[in-house]
Structure formats: structure tokens, C-alpha cells
Homo-oligomer: A and B are copies of this chain.
């Protein structure tokens, strides 16, 4: 029950939303997505993101194309699909509902103002 573990648990479930959102702005390959998440202080590692991208692709929310790189192996550039865009709006609602629920619970109540 340490704080780091709890942080990791809170992160779970929002990564899909974050990744889809990142791709809504620009197509990107795994390393770029990873970099964006890190810049936003969402620590994620390779072993997490690759399976997640595959899952989103298999669900039809993402698609990818191969692109040559100036150095090193070709890159898988992911792009969001129509279904993915629709899913984002659902996730956005879910996230807002969750934020509201947590706020209403954690806000201390005036038991006898």
C-alpha cells in the first residue's frame, strides 16, 4: 500500500484515453507517443505502450502504416479511425463523470455548518 503503487493504479484505464487523444492531433509512432506522455508527467514504459497500441488497433480504433526512417528500422505510424474518434467522445464523458464523482466525494462536507 505504498503511494507509488497507488499512483500506478490510478494511471490505469486513462492511458487508452490519452493515447487516442494524442493521435487525434497528429499521427505518431510509439516512441513519439511515449515522449508526449512523459512530458505530461505520465510515466509509461515501452512494455506498456506497445501492447496497448496493438489492442487499440485490433479493436478498430486505430490503424497504422509503415514509414521509412532516416536512420534505423521503419516506423509504425498510428492514426485514429472514425470509430476511434467516436470512442474518444465516450471516454471524455466517462472521464468527466469520474472527476465529478470523485470531487463530490472528496469535498469535505459541512456536517453542522
**Chain A contact residues, CB within 8 Å of chain B:** 1, 3, 6-14, 16-18, 21-22, 24-26, 36-37, 40-42, 55-56, 58-59, 61, 87, 90-92, 94-95, 97-102, 104-106, 108-109, 111
Contact = CB atoms under 8 A, between A and B. Distances in A.
A97 B40 CA distance: 10
Q: How many copies does the complex hold?
A: 2
Contacts of A111: 25-26
Main secondary structure of the interface of A (DSSP, over half): helix
Contacts of A13: 6-13
A64 to B, nearest CB: 16
Nearest to A43: B101
B41 A102 contact: no
